[in-house]
Structure 1
């Protein structure tokens, strides 16, 4: 089996190890990022929805940056939302701060009943540059 080429953002490795998953894995020129929620460094949730969504994007950007990427390199996005109708307007408001200009990545939104105490999660796949694809 090939060893996974894992990407960790600065300062959060212990949190990922505690929860037994990798924040992102490089493979075949792509970066596969685990779903990111609005958790603080200690794993607790931001108390307000807008802050929670913003923190999820900040956590995502930290992983992308650690891999030499930006949101502009993202080609596919999956959003998971508890109570989609109740939170979608807030999500779109915050998303616009991070999304960038067209052309936009593909997007799938999924309504869920539980996200480990969170309201929002974002999972992406990004294209690595040739240099970053080698790790």
Structure 2
């Protein structure tokens, strides 16, 4: 892999990176997003896990669109939850962003998310 084959993706429609990483990286016909917390581009979190899940997926969508990709091109998602009891609530929101065939998915509970977020979602998409 050469540097010219790898391209950082960034948009002001999603929160900027809070460390030394890119919002997403495109490599050929694939894009890999960093985990997207459920905060808006001003760095503010909505109060509920449902609203944070919606914001997280909206951030993913904005990043993909900045690279010319769409949500229908997502093949794999990973959902990180601060509390697994929120799984059903997040699942309801998640289902509004996808249609069949659904992407493959992992969902895991973590001890803590950056900035005390309730949910973080990362994706892999292919054109």
TM-score w.r.t. length of structure 1:
0.83
Give the aligned CA root-mean-square deviation in angstroms.
Answer: 1.7
Which residue in 2 is equivalent to 1:133? none
Aligned equivalents of 1:88, 1:46: Cα separation in 2: 17
- How far apart are 1:69 and its partner, in Å? 1.1
Which residue in 2 is equivalent to 1:2? 3
The runs of at least 4 consecutive aligned structure 1 residues that moved more than 6 Å come to: none
5+ residue gaps in structure 2?
none
Which residue in 1 is equivalent to 2:124? 125
Q: Is the 8 A contact 1:83 1:112 kept in 2?
A: yes
Q: Is the 8 A contact 1:10 1:66 kept in 2?
A: no
Q: Is the 8 A contact 1:12 1:41 kept in 2?
A: yes
Write out aligned runs for 1:3-22 (5 A): 4-12=6-14, 15-16=16-17, 18-22=18-22
Which residue in 2 is equivalent to 1:72? 72
Which residue in 1 is equivalent to 2:107? 109
Aligned equivalents of 1:40, 1:93: Cα separation in 2: 20
Write out aligned runs for 1:16-95 (5 A): 16=17, 18-84=18-84, 86-95=85-94
- How far apart are 1:73 and its partner, in Å? 0.2
Please tell me whether Structure 1 or Structure 2 has the larger radius of gyration of its CA atoms: 1
Q: Is the 8 A contact 2:13 2:59 kept in 1?
A: no
Aligned residues, how many? Answer: 124
